[in-house]
Chains A and B, each alone.
Chain A
Amino acid sequence: MEMINLTIDHKPVVVRKGTTVLKAASSIGIDIPTLCYMKLDDMNIENKPGGCRVCVVEVKGRKNLAPACCTEATEGMEISTHTIRVVNARRTVVELILSDHPADCLICAKSGNCELQDMAHHLGIRQIHYEGEKSMYREDTSPAIIRDINKCIMCRRCETMCNDVQTVGVLSAINRGFNAVVAPAFEMNLDHSVCTYCGQCVAVCPTGALTEVDQTGAVIRALSDPMKTVIVQTAPAVRAALGEEFGMPAGTLVTGKMVAALRRLGFDYVFDTDFAADLTILEEGTELLNRLSAYIAGDQNVKLPILTSCCPAWVKFFEHSFPELKDIPSTARSPQQMFGSIAKTYFADKIKVKRENLVVVSIMPCLAKKYESSRPEFAVNGNPDVDYALTTRELAHLINLGNIEFKSLPNEEFDAPLGESTGAGVIFGTTGGVIEAAVRTAYELFTGKPLPRVDFEELRGMDGLRKATIDFNGTPINIGIAHGLGNARKLLEDIQAGNSEFHAIEIMSCPGGCIGGGGQPYHHGNAEILKKRQKAIYSEDKNKTLRKSHENPYIKKLYEEFLGAPMSEKAHHLLHTKYFDRS
């Protein structure tokens, strides 16, 4: 490996050939400010269009300043990162960006979390010396994502996520010069495009150009309506990230405080999506076993592998891109929708509240859940099973609005009966978790024997594509796991070509699974945060007394009192769905 010697701010540094000046500087603790640049280490994602020019540095002997993010270090280079010339250039660059940016920081959804705002602050910009044309694009609102392109700084991070990582290909830079914007083909609205609403574009947008549809106002109205009973469900990944919004370290589990906060906000019942995750396992696991048993019995028509169907962005992805495979995914609804369906039938009957007076709110790490809850098949006479799906960030906003001092809240317990869950439900929040939960139950139902061990380390991790073979008492079951839609696409292409070796595949749209969802606290490019959230999820699982979905006493009761058995007619009607060809 050829090594390169250079100096940065008079400090000598040795790096491998091919290293950028930016990386070389950071290796010796010199921080060069960046704006468009993004690197997510474990996912092998790097966005360096060299577009914003904030990272310019002085290279001795060169006439022009060089962008550190895409200038390769060469032998003998002498770099200065913070000379007056460099700082002035940076200020000019940011002033020019601001000259075509709406100055509405006071009311912007991204205020306080905006990298452009931070940069302007860092550079001490108090005046914009440039006046010129302003972009005047219309706002594009979809069921989950709002595009306000006037706030776009053309960093192209969203394009990288949408094309390179997710391979969805909705967003691209179009037009040129001043008119250049990132938009869907033919500048159509997102809701007419093949957008999956995974929200990874929102997760990386440095400004307020891409944000979620804010439903906190509607939830506040429901909470203040005396006619309404308002209940809430919280997805597993939320508890592993919400604390970050209140300055707690990444990976802090805040389940009990979250429950306490929701109660103080005025929700009548605080329930857990993990309960519905356990329910999902019974339905999906039974479906898997039925297909497997038929396959082992020699049925040639059985559809294998079975694919998980919890992730709404993934569902929309295959409906658009692989409609011919729409019979393969499990027909089980996602936990969010199972919860809504059970809440507005079984639970509404129990507490004697009419469907239209019961409001179901969900707290999700996800933007696609907003879209999912608006799908017409998940409504009865126009009344949706889930009324509002808030993100983790929106919940933090509500908690702040309610003047609740989150960190000093006591730990409280979820309400019964829809708040009880097992460790299997908790791990739905991370990549590999759904299939591990399914294996825990399917193994015992298939073999009739107790699991020798509950933890399946071979299914865990952060690699984008993983596989493992689980021995079902003599029958090897091949399991595939993909997170990130680009990885999912590879598995689907194998299935299409008839080359798939798997019996069951778990797919999550977001890198890391739900812990890295588009509705989570912004990680600002720090992929370590996702690993810490994942660890928190597994530790909650470990601390649960019950760790297999079929052992959840309230799930057993739900089947006894209401549903009958998994895959029964009633279960089919309330807990399963069908998919559409959207190509």
Chain B
Amino acid sequence: MPGIKLSEKTIGIIQQVCSDFRNEGSELINVLHQTQGKLGYLPAEVQEVIAKELNISVAKVYGVVTFYSFFTMIPMGEHPISICMGTACYVRGSEQVLAEFKRQLSIEVGQSTPDNKFSLNCLRCVGACGLAPVVMVGDRVYGRVSPQMVKNIISEYKEGCVSEAKSA
């Protein structure tokens, strides 16, 4: 296992999340969700702390982390970009949108840009099929995205309009 040592502070954050859910094993998905929200990703060491706190096996935690594509074990960029590959988005051209993101950012799915500003992922349906194809950047949803729009979306975040992104 690639060893990173968690700081006391990080361990404290994880323990707090677990205790918010009464350290119950049945709350594993919620705990993982919140922890990823706070830390950005779920490396092995974080999963080990969660397993210990919830008194379940680390294999079980890893099983859930690898089952849901939402969870990631590698750090996401400051602005995680997700392209919907659900049926509706796919038939309306999300593959071409994804290809354009890959080209513009020079990264593959599952990777982050060297400056850690952007990371690229696919997801399956955000429940906004009427807006297909859909792209999410952070919490913000972009609908009816065409490959031509990709450059503008990226530049919104490059120019530092972070506040807008967060408020959305």
Which A residues have a C-beta under 8 Å from some C-beta of B?
163, 168-176, 183-186, 188, 193
Contacts and interface: CB of A to CB of B under 8 A. Distances in A.
B66 A184 contact: no
B116 to A, nearest CB: 23
A163 B56 CA distance: 10
Contacts of B150: none
B66 to A, nearest CB: 5
Nearest to A171: B59
A173 B67 CA distance: 9
Nearest to A173: B63
Contacts of A174: 59, 62-63, 66-67
A185 B67 contact: no
Given A185-B47, A186-B1, A186-B44, A175 B57 contact: no
A69 B130 CA distance: 41
Interface size class of B (residues with CB under 8 A): 10 to 19
A163 B66 CA distance: 18
B115 to A, nearest CB: 28
A188 B57 CA distance: 14
Contacts of A184: 59
B62 A186 contact: yes
Contact of B61 (A175, A176, A185, A193): A185
B57 A170 contact: yes
A173 B62 CA distance: 9
Contacts of A183: 59
A140 to B, nearest CB: 14
A172 B66 CA distance: 11
Contacts of B47: 185
Nearest to B65: A174
A168 B63 CA distance: 15
A169 B1 contact: no
Nearest to A163: B57
A176 B66 contact: yes
B4 to A, nearest CB: 13
24 contacts: A163-B60, A169-B56, A169-B58, A169-B59, A170-B57, A171-B59, A172-B57, A172-B62, A173-B63, A174-B59, A174-B62, A174-B63, A174-B66, A176-B66, A176-B67, A185-B44, A185-B47, A185-B57, A185-B58, A185-B62, A186-B1, A186-B44, A186-B58, A188-B1
Contacts of A188: 1
Nearest to B47: A185
A185 B50 CA distance: 13
Given A186-B1, A186-B44, A188-B1, A172 B59 contact: yes
A102 B51 CA distance: 35
A170 B51 CA distance: 12
A156 B61 CA distance: 17
A183 B63 CA distance: 9
Given A170-B59, A185-B58, A175 B1 contact: no
A390 to B, nearest CB: 29
Contacts of A176: 66-67
A283 to B, nearest CB: 35
Given A173-B67, A183-B59, 18 more contacts: A163-B57, A163-B60, A168-B57, A172-B57, A172-B62, A172-B63, A174-B63, A174-B66, A174-B67, A176-B67, A184-B59, A185-B47, A185-B59, A185-B61, A185-B62, A186-B1, A186-B58, A193-B59
A175 B58 contact: no
Interface string B1-20: 10000000000000000000
Contact of A175 (B56, B59, B60, B66): B66
A186 B46 CA distance: 12
Nearest to A180: B67
A169 B63 contact: no
Interface in B82-133: none
Contacts of B58: 169, 185-186
A173 B57 CA distance: 12
Interface in B7-56: 44, 47, 56
A321 B1 CA distance: 20
Nearest to B1: A186
A255 B157 CA distance: 78
Contacts of A168: 57
B72 to A, nearest CB: 14
Contacts of B60: 163, 169, 172
Interface string B65-88: 011000000000000000000000
A164 B67 CA distance: 20
B143 to A, nearest CB: 28
Contacts of A193: 59
Contacts of B67: 173-176
Nearest to A183: B59
Contact of A169 (B44, B57, B66): B57
A183 B65 CA distance: 13
Nearest to A193: B59
A170 B60 CA distance: 9
Contacts of B44: 185-186
Nearest to A188: B1
A166 B63 CA distance: 18
A149 to B, nearest CB: 14
Nearest to A167: B57
A193 B51 CA distance: 14
Nearest to B43: A186
Contacts of B62: 172, 174, 185-186
A171 B58 CA distance: 9
A193 B62 CA distance: 13
Nearest to B56: A169
A174 B66 CA distance: 6
A464 to B, nearest CB: 20
A170 B62 CA distance: 11
Nearest to B48: A185
The listed residue with most A CB atoms (<10 A of its CB), out of B44, B61, B67, is: B67
Contacts of A171: 59
Contacts of A170: 57, 59
The listed residue with most A CB atoms (<10 A of its CB), out of B56, B60, B66, B67, is: B66
B110 to A, nearest CB: 14
Contacts of A185: 44, 47, 57-59, 61-62
A496 to B, nearest CB: 13
A193 B61 CA distance: 15
